[in-house]
C-alpha cells in the first residue's frame, strides 16, 4: 500500500534551472571564471551545491578551497534570489492537493542545501503546507543517492520504505529509491532524460504529474 510520495525538488517539483545558472554564474564572475549556459545546469545540478560548483568551474579551478569560495558566493547570491525565475512545473500543485485530499503524505527530499530549500519551497508554493516533511542537505546527513535523507523524511512522516514512491528526474533519485527501499518513479519533464532514468532503474516513468496519483491508485487497487 502506497502511503507517501518522496519528491526530489529541482527538476521534479520546481524548474529552478535559470536561478541556479544565474546564481552560479554570478559567483563564477566574482573570481574571474567564465560563465556557463543555462542548459549546462541540467547536468551540473542534482548532486549538491559543491558538486555543481565543481562542474561549473574550469579544470584549473577545481580545487577544494576555490570550490568552497565559489560555493559561498553562490549561497550569498542565491539566498537573496531563491526564486526570481523558479516556478512549480505545470500540474504539480494540483497533484499535491489531490494527494493531500486522498490522505497520501508528501515530502521533499533534495540535495539542495537545507537553508536554500527552506527558502525556495515557501517562495514557490507560498508555504510548506502541501508537504509533511521537507528535507534538504545538512552536514550531518549524507547526500543522495545514500538513503539517509529519505529515512529522515519517512521517520518524520511515519511510513515504511515499501509504502513510498520516490519521484525524481535523475539517476541520483532512482538510485536513492533503490537504496532506501522505495518505489523508483522517474519524471520526463525534468533536467535529465528517459535513458538516464531507465538505466538507473526507474520502475515507472511518468510524463504528467497527475499520472503519479493515477499510479498510486493502480498500485493500491491491485493489492
- Residues marked as catalytic: 8
Helix axes 64-78, 49-56, angle to 10 degrees: 110
Question: Residue 183 and residue 219: Cα distance in Å, rounded?
Answer: 11
Instruction: Note the helical H segments in 59-204.
Output: 64-78, 92-101, 114-125, 148-157, 171-180, 194-199
Question: Residue 174 and residue 10: Cα distance in Å, rounded?
Answer: 14
- CA-nearest of 125, 143, 133, 123 to 52 is 143
Q: Counting Cβ atoms within 10 Å, is residue 96 exposed (0-12), middle (13-18) or buried (19+)? A: buried
Amino acid at each position: 500500500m502506497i502511503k507517501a510520495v518522496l519528491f526530489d525538488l529541482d527538476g521534479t517539483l520546481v524548474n529552478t534551472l535559470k536561478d541556479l545558472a544565474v546564481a552560479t554564474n554570478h559567483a563564477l564572475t566574482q573570481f574571474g571564471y567564465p560563465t556557463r549556459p543555462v542548459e549546462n545546469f541540467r547536468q551540473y545540478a542534482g548532486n549538491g551545491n559543491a558538486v555543481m560548483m565543481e562542474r561549473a568551474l574550469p579544470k584549473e579551478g577545481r580545487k577544494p578551497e576555490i570550490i568552497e569560495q565559489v560555493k559561498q558566493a553562490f549561497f550569498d547570491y542565491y539566498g537573496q534570489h531563491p526564486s526570481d525565475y523558479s516556478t512549480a512545473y505545470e500540474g504539480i500543485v494540483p497533484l499535491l492537493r489531490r494527494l493531500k485530499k486522498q490522505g497520501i503524505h508528501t515530502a521533499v527530499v533534495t540535495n539542495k542545501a537545507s537553508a536554500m530549500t527552506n527558502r525556495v519551497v515557501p517562495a514557490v508554493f507560498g508555504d510548506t503546507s502541501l508537504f509533511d516533511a521537507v528535507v534538504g542537505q545538512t552536514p550531518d546527513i549524507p547526500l543522495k543517492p545514500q538513503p539517509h535523507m529519505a529515512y529522515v523524511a519517512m521517520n518524520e512522516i511515519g511510513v515504511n520504505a515499501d509504502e513510498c514512491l520516490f519521484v525524481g528526474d535523475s539517476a541520483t533519485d532512482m538510485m536513492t529509491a533503490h537504496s532506501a527501499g522505495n518505489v523508483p518513479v522517474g519524471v520526463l519533464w525534468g533536467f535529465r532524460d528517459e535513458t538516464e532514468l531507465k538505466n538507473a532503474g526507474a520502475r515507472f516513468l511518468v510524463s504528467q504529474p497527475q499520472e503519479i496519483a493515477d499510479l498510486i491508485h493502480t498500485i493500491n487497487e491491485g493489492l
